[in-house]
Amino acid sequence: MPMPSSSQEPRIKALTARAVRVPMPQPHRTASGVVSESPLVLTDITLDSGVVGRSITFTYTPLALGPTTDLIRNIEPLLMGNAAAPAEISRGLAARFRLLGAQGLIGMALAAIDMALWDGLAHTHSVSLAHLLGGLPKPTQAYGAIGYDGPDESAKAAEGWAQRGFRGVKAKIGYPTVAEDVSVIRAIRRAAGEGTAVMVDYNQSLTPSEAVERLRILDAEGLTWVEEPSLAHDYAGHAKVAREARTPIQAGENWWGITDFAHALEADATDFVMADVMKVGGVTGWLEAAALANAHRIRMSNHLWPEISAQLLSVTPTAHWLEYADWWNPILADPLRIKDGMSDPAGAIGSGTEWNEAAVQRFLV
Ligand code: SMN
Ligand code: MG
């Protein structure tokens, strides 16, 4: 895939993709399924300067881990010798896969390469990703995740996040009755204290009508947002819920690239957006989505990937909250720090993605 280039840019010399299965302290339950481990593809792209760019790809289930790893490896020959120009390469790869489409595992593989190349470019200039993008790393208020674990365990988790100084918590709900949802919300609020923001996440488990009904009750709970009440790509359904509810709706983690974001915002599907840096199309896709969110004056948060997301939220005009998860910390040499409830991305070079090689070796598939 010959790309326009000039002599001085660093060129892509090699790519490795390693599959690991990182155990989780405890399964993370949602109304739409359980995440019991983190199957990850760790991609390293080496430039002819010797600089290495890295990225993490999360495949949600081990069933997708091998195929995604193979896909990333299969793309290597298309990259060799090209200038390390991530936006250019992502556009070229998207065109190459136009007939198949850049959603699903292909989208994940392209994002893995995009994130690793942007990381490599930042390392080439020994700057943070935020600085490479024209900004400076800055703190974003952070929230911790609480699983679909019932009132007692949810309250315990909320107390833990509050004790660690987090300013918000997000609980997975969608229990059989809205009364159970409310019971969990109130148990969390009692445990975390009135000063802590509380978000909830239905993980696409309701129909729009069910969501409208439940929100008639939840609107009295002072929630910061209600996330993915209905199917992620049912923009009309989300728009109906957003129109009827007083509580802000949050969505976006399952939208693939700028087109999904554009269609969703054209449909007024949500009040806030959150981008999953993998599904949105890596750093290149994130920047497009951030510009669109800014044009619509909509607050934008992240989904997982705290290290690279902390860098990207630093240059996101409508940055809102940072979702923090420590699931992948075991394979990271320098996980994102949280200070006084805020992300602390300063000091990182690139996206802050450096391996703890001993742990990687332990979890290799
Ligand atoms: C979520 C989804 C998938 C895995 C973990 C967590 C959840 C979130 O929707 O918003 O974090
Ligand atoms: Mg979610």
CATH of the domain at 340: 3.20.20.120
Nearest atom (ligand 1) to Cα of 228: 9
Same domain, 207 and 315: yes
Which of 111, 126, 141 corresponds to the end of one domain? 126
Confidence band for 25, pLDDT divided at 50, 70 and 90: confident
Return the minimum-mean-pLDDT range out of 4-18, 140-154, 160-174, 337-351. Answer: 4-18
Same domain, 164 and 105: no
Q: Which domain holds residue 209?
A: 132-355
CA separation, residue 298 to residues 167, 170, 290 (Å): 21, 20, 9
Number of domains in the chain: 2
CA separation, residue 43 to residues 26, 63, 145 (Å): 26, 18, 26
Ligand 1 close to Cβ of residue 41 (< 6 A): no
Looking at the predicted structure, is the pLDDT value of residue 4 above 60? Answer: no
Per-residue model confidence as pLDDT tens digits over 27-65: 999 999 999 999 999 999 999 999 999 999 999 999 999
CA distance 9 to 96: 23
Kindly report the pTM of this predicted structure. Answer: 0.97
Which residue type does 262 have? Answer: A
How large is the C-alpha radius of gyration of the chain?
20
Q: What share of the chain is helix, strand, coil (3-state, %, to 5)?
A: 40, 25, 35
Count of CB atoms situated within 10 Å of the CB of 138:
17
Ligand 1 close to Cβ of residue 9 (< 6 A): no
Q: What's the gap in Å between 127 CA and the centre of ligand 1?
A: 30
pLDDT value, residue 8: 80
Per-residue model confidence as pLDDT tens digits over 182-192: 999 999 999 99
Q: Which phi and psi angles does 335 have, rounded to 5°?
A: -60, 160
* Strands across the sheet containing 142-146: 300-303, 272-276, 249-251, 225-227, 197-201, 168-172, 142-146, 322-324
Ligand 1 close to Cβ of residue 35 (< 6 A): yes
Same domain, 47 and 28: yes
Per-residue model confidence as pLDDT tens digits over 123-164: 999 999 999 999 999 999 999 999 999 999 999 999 999 999
Same domain, 19 and 104: yes
Nearest alpha carbon to residue 353 among 6, 11, 45? 45
With respect to residue 165, please indicate whether it lies within any of the assigned structural domains: yes
Minimum CA distance residue for ligand 1 atom 11: 303
Q: What's the gap in Å between 128 CA and the centre of ligand 2?
A: 27
CA distance 99 to 343: 40
With respect to residue 101, please indicate whether it lies within any of the assigned structural domains: yes
Ligand 1 close to Cβ of residue 253 (< 6 A): yes
